[in-house]
Amino acid sequence: MLTGDYTIEPMKIKDLREVLAIEKAVFPHPWSENFFRLIISDKNNYMVTIKLGGRVIGYGGYHLLKNDVEFRLMNKRYDFVVHIINISIAPDFQGKGYGTILMNYLLEDARSRGVEFAYLEVRPSNERAISLYRRFGFMIVGIIENYYPLERENALVMGLNIV
Ligand SMILES: CC(C)(COP(=O)(O)OP(=O)(O)OC[C@H]1O[C@@H](n2cnc3c(N)ncnc32)[C@H](O)[C@@H]1OP(=O)(O)O)[C@@H](O)C(=O)NCCC(=O)NCCS
């Protein structure tokens, strides 16, 4: 159930205080402010916030990979791919559909730019995120061993053809 009107807009420096508070609340190893600054200053990244009543309740984004990597999957070659690098909803607002809205927005935005394929990494223990990705049709396309070395946890790589 959604509780109000939301907006989705490009992430700005002035959003970082609220973004960092969410980042620290939801991840064991949060990105730093400097890292967010670096990410949003790179034109190959597209980061957005989702706001409710002007307050940041979540954020997410992707890194565009165009012709700089050759991405092959199941005998198909993709030239224009996005790596979804973050998607987070503040704890108080989880389970209300906002993660779904944000993912839908990011995939539609990527599709409108001509992107063919989206992929991301997720911890096998993150059932809620995996459930969300599966609902969009993401499938497990690989495993990266020891991707989260501090917890000695592998990452599942999930991918989705968005053509
Ligand atoms: C993963 C995340 C972005 C999902 O956002 P969200 O707004 O909670 O997701 P939605 O409300 O759109 O629902 C997503 C799924 O979670 C399920 N869900 C919602 N509330 C839940 C709850 N309290 N317990 C378990 N599952 C729940 C929904 O039913 C849905 O699953 P379904 O497709 O099987 O129905 C969010 O939980 C989050 O920020 N988690 C912490 C950061 C993180 O792990 N990010 C992903 C890194 S790969």
Residue with tokens 């993401």: 138
What is the CA angle 149-150-152, rounded to 5?
55
CA distance 62 to 51: 18
List pLDDT tens digits, range 24-49: 999 999 999 999 999 999 999 999 99
Task: Name all residues whose Cβ lies below 6 A of ligand 1.
Answer: 26, 87-89, 94-100, 122, 126, 128-129, 131-132, 135
Domains of the chain by start residue, with CATH: 6-161 (3.40.630.30)
CA distance 68 to 131: 30
pLDDT above 90: percentage of residues in the chain: 85
Please say whether the beta carbons of 89 and 99 come within 8 A.
Answer: yes
Q: Which amino acid is at 86?
A: N
Ligand 1 mean position to 149 CA, how many Å?
24
List pLDDT tens digits, range 57-106: 999 999 999 866 677 777 788 889 999 999 999 999 999 999 999 999 99
**Residue 39 CB neighbour total at 10 angstroms:** 18
Residue 129 CA, closest ligand 1 atom number = 1
pLDDT band at 1 (very low <50, low <70, confident <90, very high): very low
